[in-house]
Amino acid sequence: MFWELLEKIEKIYIKFCQRWHDNKKKKAERFGRLAESIAVCLLRLKLYTILARRYRNGAGEIDIIATRHKTLAFIEVKARTGASSMEVLLPNQQQRIMNAAEMFISNKPSYQNHIMRFDLIMVGTTHLPIHIPDAWRR
């Protein structure tokens, strides 16, 4: 009887851990979507036209694609609850975004004459959103 009870407790604990982990992932995803919405608002205030959000293709995903004048900006949004949002993108993340951008331009020839730029917007709970134009280059 003791072992049966122990097994039940173990199963309940495993379910609890799975649910807690799932809730944590859902909260992080909601916070990320909120950060992207804040970034879109910031860009609109700066007179950017938003072309796409969460754009996906075979090469990867781009959080926001926006244009202003003849500049086409591919924007990565980083959302953090603390000051750690000041981190930089890893080179493999930058490369994935650049590959997705190249594929976007190849599928949309009307943007081939635009200046391509890779921006970073950092959204955190301890500071106002920070937009870094031309955060990295090809």
pLDDT tens digits, residue range 74-104?
Answer: 999 998 776 554 466 888 999 999 999 999 9
Total number of domains in the chain = 1
Q: What is the CATH number of the domain that holds 76?
A: 3.40.1350.10
Beta carbons of 58 and 99 less than 8 angstroms apart: no
pTM above 0.95, yes or no: no
Give residues with Cβ within 8 angstroms of 80, minimum separation 6. 87, 122, 123, 124, 125
- How many C-beta atoms lie closer than 10 Å to residue 1's C-beta? 5
Range of the domain at 33: 2-136
